[in-house]
């Protein structure tokens, strides 16, 4: 299975696990539950089991910290952090945070062109949290239902794209936030599609 076909929260769990494993750590179910705010380790176990069955993770039986990346050595990809993206109301992009990370390209699908730091909590139900670094694959088009980084009147936001005969809406993944309706005449563009994340700290 390609990681892009995973449900968003499971893809976020996979990205977080890959980051930890590349760094030489092997998180336990309790670590995963704590990182994603799951109420119990059972939710973490379901994600891990599904990822192992899909061939995206290896797990040594009977070991608390037995997770590993399948396949050969990691291919590292240099990615620049180019600014912030709102998970809430759109914010101006402050290009040039002067940070570059070397990351395993297998953490992302498709290959990202850059990273943006998330500010806000409107995408938490997709596992995208405040402070996460999201990988963005630069493209001016996206499919309905994809998570995108969009520019509205010069400001950036990350949301699910909804396209219909009535127009375009940007949907949050937190019931506390309202959708953003793109009005006729607004300066709107898709900057890229979300392709994975890095959770620091």
Task: Reply yes or no on whether 46 is catalytic.
Answer: no
Question: Whole-angstrom Cα distance, residue 70 to residue 170?
Answer: 35
Set 28, 46, 64, 122: catalytic member:
122
Set 46, 64, 109, 159: catalytic member:
159
From the number of C-beta atoms within 10 Å of its C-beta (0-12, 13-18, 19+), residue 131 rates as exposed
- How far separated are the first and last CA of the chain, in Å rounded? 29
CA distances from 131 to 84, 124, 154 (A): 9, 11, 22
Task: Reply yes or no on whether 141 is catalytic.
Answer: no
Among residues 118, 98, 87, 82, the alpha carbon closest in space to that of 198 is found at 118
DSSP character for 163? E
Catalytic residues: 122, 159
């Amino acid at each position: 299975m390609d990681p892009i076909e995973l449900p968003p929260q499971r893809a976020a769990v996979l990205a977080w696990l890959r980051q930890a494993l590349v760094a030489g750590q092997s998180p336990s179910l309790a670590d995963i539950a704590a990182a994603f705010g799951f109420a119990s380790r059972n939710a973490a176990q379901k994600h891990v089991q599904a990822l192992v069955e899909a061939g995206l993770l290896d797990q040594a039986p009977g070991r608390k910290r037995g997770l590993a990346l399948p396949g050969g050595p990691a291919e590292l990809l240099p990615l620049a952090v180019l600014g912030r993206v709102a998970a809430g109301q759109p914010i101006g992009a402050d290009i040039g945070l002067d940070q570059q990370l070397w990351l395993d390209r297998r953490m992302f699908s498709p290959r990202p062109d850059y990273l943006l730091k998330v500010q806000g909590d409107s995408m938490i139900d997709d596992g995208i949290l405040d402070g996460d670094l999201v990988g963005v694959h630069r493209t001016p088009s996206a499919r309905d239902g994809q998570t995108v980084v969009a520019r509205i009147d010069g400001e950036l936001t990350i949301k699910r794209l909804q396209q219909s005969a009535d127009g375009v809406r940007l949907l949050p993944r937190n019931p506390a936030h309202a959708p953003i309706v793109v009005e006729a005449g607004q300066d709107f563009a898709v900057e890229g599609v979300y392709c994975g994340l890095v959770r620091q700290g």
